[in-house]
Structure 1
Amino acid sequence: MDFWPLVLAGALVGFSVGLTGMGGGALMTPIMVLVFGVNPSSAVGSDLAASVAMKPVGALVHHRARTVRWDLVKWLVPTAVPAGFAGAFLLPLFGDGHVLQARLKLAVGGALLLAVAGMFARVLLARRRGEAAAEDARARVRPVPTLLIGLVGGLIVGMTSVGSGSLIIVMLMLAHPKLRANELVGTDLVQALPLVAAAAAGHLIVGDAKLGLAGTVLIGAIPGIYLGAKLSTRAPAGILRWALAVLLLASGLKLWEVPNNTTALACAALIVLGGISAAVRRLRHRPAVAAVAADTAQPRV
């Protein structure tokens, strides 16, 4: 397998993670499968092994900024960690040999499409939270829903490597609508550390994780994350998230072996939707800007 193309792929994925906080497993696993021809189980295991080294970067930033709800983490970890570890051992339920690889490919594709839906849900929920001004630094944790989120999210991550930074955060927003946005992101990144480590350990035991492959990806991913994080405050995050959504949609449909014409139409529709959404957001923003400008122009008595 080519060394430098893998390094470049790792750099691009790391850059996306540093810039948007999303796209680790959702990008690296399909790239390994679709571009480099890695079998799906090895791609999942290797991506999880690489994520163990990638996740602490963002988690440390949020820990220093004190945007981690440790009371929420403690209710996620008890179910997420064992579920993530068990994911590798549940894969034989899909079959074995070529049957397993084919079904796992479909499962990863399904997880990617769920991640795209989760990105839309996250945007809609964030807008509702903004309109309702519902954020509360003292929002209480709901233990039972949080334990269930850890269980479901852990299983998905353990079996497909997708979801630790996309699906779980959406479920957290649904269960805890008053949590502050930065606390949701920080908490999700921190809980992902033991979850991804447990899932990677399960795949190492099963023999799916290829450490050489993971190490090659990390050569590019680590500097990519650093550069992405440096640029994250200047780049238009909304445009980047829409671009990521289009890429995930295309990858998911290709893993499902959807015809190229249909995939292209679906991606084009998503791009048009993104353009409409951006235009509507600008139109809503203009009256507020005009009102502020008019207020500041008034003479002071």
Structure 2
Amino acid sequence: MNIKAPPKRHLWVWFLWLGLFYTAWLFLVQMDGHWQTAKDHWPMALAMAVGSYAAGSTPMGGGTVGFPVLVLLFDMPATLGRDFSFAVQSIGMVSATIFILARRQPLAWSMLKGAVVGGLIGTPIGIIFFAPLIPDLWIKVTFAVLWGSFGVLHLYRIGEIAGHVGMTEFDEHWDHRVGFVLGLVACLLAVSVTGVGIDMVLYAALVLLCRADLKIAIPTSVVIMALASLYGVLIKSVTNSWQPGVFENWLAAAPVVALGAPLGVFIVDKIGRKPILLVVATLCVGQFVWTCFSEQDDLGLVGIALAVGALGFCLWVFERLRSWGSVLVAEAQRKNEVRRAAEAGDAEPAAEKAECP
């Protein structure tokens, strides 16, 4: 894997971004008279203060908190939760990405680039053609299943996931191909429907397939979600398919997430990722249970059984990735040992020749 971490930092770029964003936001609320609108939606700003921190410190986009708050707590349509995820992450996750790049944190560049290309194809197809076919109820369930499986995985695998150091290096072209497939499928089937998902999918591939350190996997997941969100905002704007209420909630939450997500990136380096992941994993499982309970009348026993079965299927996929990763890691280690032995064999005759008179 091609991992780059240049030592020199350029935090002035991030501060410049913040200055430009807050100037634009203040101009927007003052010139268009939206101060009261922002004040009226203060509960969303409060919720995203927590959500944006999680977005920067875990492989979860800010929409992972914004979606259930709007849909489960405020009883808003799931389509609004999805569109709000795009909008709010285009600020929070982008701000965190600029902060990550300015600090020169290591990223899994090969897989990330492949995922970006896959997302460029999958996102518009999903938003325009696939997402409109999914009923509101099953948008909620899809979201609940995705992040519920993420939570269960971490509750029983957190010790192993948090114990990875560095990352196993495979063939760069292989990494790119895997990233492309993941980006294409995740953006087509998950991001277009819920507004999130590619971050979790890429993160899972990195920690289960490549045994990547969380210091590499989480920043990489933040970057891909930021790019997918920007692309989603562009597509929604071009197709003029925004749900009513997105702008008002975004107006209140945007100034919070612009600082909250980078704050999560910074603080997690100081206190560690394992405790935060455990808390978030518990919340993810909780929102799955909450969704099934609150929607039990519409889902019925069959629907709940399907949701639980889908969660189990996601866990099975995770475990298959982990098993595949074990094989790939063992093969990579064997190749490295053979190469080192060959290099040592070449060096020994050379040393003997140097000693001959």
TM-score surpassing 0.5? yes
Q: Which whole-Å CA distance do the structure 2 matches of 1:128 and 1:160 have between them?
A: 30
Give the CA RMSD over aligned residues. Answer: 2.9
1:217: how far off?
A: 1.8
- Kindly indicate whether residue 61 of structure 2 is the aligned counterpart of residue 30 of structure 1: no
Alignment partner of 1:38: what SS? coil
Partner of 1:12: 50
Partner of 1:80: 119
Structure 2 CA distance for partners of 1:197 and 1:36, relative to 1, 3 Å = same
Aligned structure 1 segments of 4 or more residues deviating by more than 6 angstroms: none
Match of 1:157 among 191, 209, 214: 191
Residues 59-83 of structure 1 show CA distances to partners (whole Å, capped at 9, x for unaligned) of: 2333232513433322211212221
Q: Which whole-Å CA distance do the structure 1 matches of 2:118 and 2:214 have between them?
A: 23
Partner of 1:173: 207
Higher relative contact order (CA 8 A, sep 6+): 1
Q: Which whole-Å CA distance do the structure 1 matches of 2:269 and 2:62 have between them?
A: 19
Q: Which whole-Å CA distance do the structure 1 matches of 2:126 and 2:148 have between them?
A: 19
Match of 1:249 among 285, 288, 299: 285
Q: Which whole-Å CA distance do the structure 2 matches of 1:59 and 1:122 have between them?
A: 27
Structure 1's unaligned 5+ residue stretches are 95-99, 261-301
Partner of 1:93: 133
Larger Rg: 2
Residues 44-100 of structure 1 show CA distances to partners (whole Å, capped at 9, x for unaligned) of: 011111101111233233323251343332221121222123322212222xxxxx2
Q: Contact conserved, 2:51 with 2:65, CA < 8 A, in 1?
A: yes
Letter in 1 for 2:88: A
Q: Contact conserved, 2:58 with 2:276, CA < 8 A, in 1?
A: yes
1:118: how far off?
A: 4.8
Q: What is the number of equivalent residue pairs in this alignment?
A: 250
Q: Contact conserved, 1:27 with 1:248, CA < 8 A, in 2?
A: no
Partner of 2:147: 112
Residues 160-184 of structure 1 show CA distances to partners (whole Å, capped at 9, x for unaligned) of: 123233232102334434x554333
Q: Which whole-Å CA distance do the structure 2 matches of 1:258 and 1:42 have between them?
A: 18
The answer to which of 61-70 and 142-151 deviates more is: 61-70
Residues 213-264 of structure 1 show CA distances to partners (whole Å, capped at 9, x for unaligned) of: 222222322232344344323435322221111111111222223699xxxx
Q: Which whole-Å CA distance do the structure 1 matches of 2:250 and 2:120 have between them?
A: 21
- Kindly indicate whether residue 256 of structure 2 is the aligned counterpart of residue 220 of structure 1: yes
Structure 2 CA distance for partners of 1:232 and 1:175, relative to 1, 3 Å = closer
Q: Which whole-Å CA distance do the structure 1 matches of 2:221 and 2:276 have between them?
A: 20
Partner of 1:140: 171
Q: Percent identity?
A: 17
Structure 2 CA distance for partners of 1:87 and 1:32, relative to 1, 3 Å = same
Match of 2:230 among 173, 197, 204: 197
Structure 2's unaligned 5+ residue stretches are 1-36, 297-357
Structure 2 CA distance for partners of 1:49 and 1:118, relative to 1, 3 Å = farther
Q: Which whole-Å CA distance do the structure 2 matches of 1:230 and 1:15 have between them?
A: 10
Structure 2 CA distance for partners of 1:23 and 1:51, relative to 1, 3 Å = closer
Q: Which whole-Å CA distance do the structure 2 matches of 1:70 and 1:165 have between them?
A: 14
Q: Which whole-Å CA distance do the structure 1 matches of 2:276 and 2:213 have between them?
A: 22
Q: Contact conserved, 2:78 with 2:139, CA < 8 A, in 1?
A: yes
The answer to which of 50-59 and 119-128 deviates more is: 119-128
